[in-house]
Amino acid sequence: RIKPCRMIELAEHADPRGSLSVVEAGKDIDFEVQRVYYLYNLPMATVRGAHGHRTLQQLVIAVHGQFEITVDDGFRTERYLLDHPRRGLFIGPMTWRNLVNFSPGAVGLVLASEHYDEADYYRDYAEFLRSARAGA
Ligand code: TYD
Q: How far is the CA of 17 from the centre of ligand 1 (A)?
A: 35
Query: For this structure, is 51 an active site residue?
Result: yes
3-state secondary structure of 109: strand
Average pLDDT over residues 99-126: 98
| pLDDT tens digits for range 76-98 | 999 999 999 999 999 999 999 99
| pLDDT tens digits for range 29-40 | 999 999 999 999
| pLDDT tens digits for range 66-75 | 999 999 999 9
Which domains are assigned to the chain? 6-11+25-133 (2.60.120.10)
Rounded to 5°, the CA angle 100-106-111 comes to 80
- Looking at ligand 1, which residue's alpha carbon is closest to its atom 4? 49
Average pLDDT over residues 55-59: 98
Closest Cα partner for 53 from 126, 3, 122, 6? 122
ipTM for this model: 0.96
Q: Is 98 in the pocket of ligand 1 (CB under 6 A)?
A: no
64 and 105 in contact (C-beta within 8 Å)? yes
